[in-house]
Structure 1
Amino acid sequence: MAWMGFRHRPSLFSIRSKPEPDISLIALIDLLLVVLMFVLVTSTLSKWSQLGLNLASSRAGTEIARTGLRVAVLRDGSIRIGDTQALSGLDAGALVKAFIEARQTLNAKNDVNATVDPSKPDHIKQSEAAMRAKAPSMMIYADRLAPHGAVVRVMDAARQAGIERVGLVTQKD
């Protein structure tokens, strides 16, 4: 009808201005933090669960804090120290050297993360220090079918590297 000289009248729908969508930045940041925490937790758990270790079972084991250096002895006899790749064919000297380096790295990381809380009473500080002293400085995750000699070799290399407290991780029956 524009050719007849009539002007197009705006309808009610075209007059109203549409509100522009806005994104709440606070909600977005909260969501991103939750996703980040989920990824961090699952990535640290999945590293050791992907090894496919079939741990030995025990009824007499005690629950302790799993701190310190973590070493896995896999089914084929290869050894994994901390988050490194599986190492196979290491002689005793190389294994001792690897343990010393891993322990120094772990100690440096713990020194950075350690904070002194002056608000804590002395008896709490002493009990926390005693708990850390009782905790093994190396936890061995040995597969049930791992060669016995490989586990003994890891324990012997740990002693030679100066690691005095060694624990074997088992699963409850």
Structure 2
Amino acid sequence: MAKREFQDAVEELDERVVHIARTAKVVKGGRRFSFRACVVVGDGKGSVGVGIGKAREVPEAIRKGSERAKRNMRKIAMSGTTIPHEITSGFSAAQVFLKPASPGTGVIAGGGVRAVVEAAGIHDILTKSKGSSNILNVVKATIQALNELQDPMEVAQNRGIPLNRVQPFWLGRGSNG
């Protein structure tokens, strides 16, 4: 019974292959090719992870990347269908800026960032990617930014102020949330 529940939970995950690269190792008889796959996995409810798989065949690299992404899944702070506050984060030379958006805006994001935020279940967000356009670094910068987000409830408790002073205006700043 528990095994069936686990399989149902695994089936609900949104798996996206963000990037596949062919690499070559030069050996005595020529070149030996292998593949690297960057995979983003999310449940659409605020959990997302990224994994990189390497193998001699593409399907095997994707499978390995998916397994690593599932192991690396983290829960992120969300406010409704968006993020609770603006944040800028970087990885290597890639910088990512994430900004909350009011309901109905949609996902305004480029390739790697879009895959991560959609897999996480964020439906309204504005993003900007600066610096390096290396897709692996952009994805890692996005994951890092999402991990650094703070839950409005925790911030309100830590500061000793009411929740409605911390929440974004579109979630009912004037009311108690």
> Normalized against structure 1, the TM-score is what?
0.26
Greater strand fraction, Structure 1 or Structure 2: 2
Tell me which of the two structures has the higher relative contact order, counting C-alpha pairs closer than 8 angstroms and 6 or more residues apart.
Answer: 1
Higher Rg: 1
Greater helix fraction, Structure 1 or Structure 2: 1
> Normalized against structure 2, the TM-score is what?
0.26
